[in-house]
Amino acid sequence: MRIDFTPVTVATDSADREGFLMLADDQLVGVIVRLAGSEHGQLQGAFYLEAGFGRCAVTPSATFESLDVAGAWARARLH
């Protein structure tokens, strides 16, 4: 399964605007956002699952240290 990330700007009320559409074999499975603001503390710079779809819809939401980790997580959820 191929996981791709397409960069997008996400309209938020914070500095967290750098986002990515997460696609599994060209199907949208999530929208992730880089946590940019200092209010995120140790999570600053990590990626937050803003919205997940299908098997990638989880509560509470997930946080990833890199796009590679997010992709591996999505692959595991979708198998």
18-73, pLDDT tens digit by residue? 999 999 999 999 999 999 988 999 999 999 999 999 999 999 989 999 999 999 99
**Does the structure show a pLDDT above 90 at 12?**
no
Number of domains in the chain: 1
pLDDT for res 35:
96
Q: How far apart are CA 63 and CA 78, in angstroms?
A: 17
Pinpoint the alpha helices (H) of the chain: 67-78
Instruction: Extract the tokens encoding 59.
Output: 């509560």
Pairing of strands 63-64, 47-52: antiparallel
pTM, two decimals, is 0.91
In which band, very low, low, confident or very high, does the pLDDT at 13 lie, cut at 50, 70 and 90? confident
Range(s) of the domain holding residue 32: 3-78
